[in-house]
Amino acid sequence: MNAKMTSQENCLCGGTYCTIDPDGDEMPNTGRDVLLEDLRQMCIWKKFGPIFWWRYILNYDSFCMINGNIRQCSEDALKGSDIPVQDIDDCVENSFAGPSNYQSCHRNKYLEEESFEVQLKGVFLFPGVTVNDFTYRGNLIPPTGVFETVCESFTNMPESCTKYFNALTNGEENTFDDPMKILVSNDHHINVGVAAAAVLVIFACFVCLCYRRHLQTEMKR
């Protein structure tokens, strides 16, 4: 782990939890912002359940791919999802053990849980994708590999998957580049399994692009 990653602005609890600066030193976000966003999303799932989590994720995609400030676009997405911002802030704050300070804290119970899951599932690359407790080892870009793997994991494929494979078989142009066409089935209910794959792939691609930009900035230096 290099010194830039472990600088205070990219860490929580004095270097216990760190991640890379997602957009480079000259941009507004830091590794700490990424970690706090992870905690916000875990709090949404734990306090409000999967329906509100999916609503937030879709709103996050709308707000945050345009607005580069993670904290601000997260607040916008929370408000757009009818989730009280203060409830999530309190949940994040209460997940820390020790002093109420992001640098002086001792541990974070949610990040400890995630760390255990990463080790348990053998995730050695970031971002990582796990399908039915098996770690996906293929390429994340283009994202079709992950999508196909998730579809093939079903005993009975959802309609979104069969349409996709039929289009490939017939040589037709598919609609994978539009995630909303995959997420919503004909009865207008979100297909949770396929939606999970689509959102994970979208987020993974976003992180990869941010990291690539970060590496290009470092190489120029």
DSSP line for 149-191: HHHHT-SS--HHHHHHHHHHHTT----TT-HHHHHB-TTS-B-
Question: What is the average per-residue pLDDT within 164-184?
Answer: 62
Q: How far apart are alpha carbons 37 and 44 in whole angstroms?
A: 11
Nearest CA to 180 among 162, 165, 202? 202
- Whether the pLDDT of residue 219 is over 80: the answer is no
Could you count the other beta carbons within 10 Å of the beta carbon of residue 106? 11
Q: Which of 10-14, 26-30, 68-72 has the lowest mean pLDDT?
A: 26-30
pTM for the full predicted model: 0.62
> pLDDT digits over 128-162, tens only?
677 877 777 777 666 778 888 888 888 888 888 88
Q: How far apart are alpha carbons 43 and 26 in whole angstroms?
A: 29
Highest mean pLDDT among 20-24, 41-45, 146-150: 41-45
Which position has the higher pLDDT, 192 or 93? Answer: 93
- Whether the pLDDT of residue 45 is over 60: the answer is yes
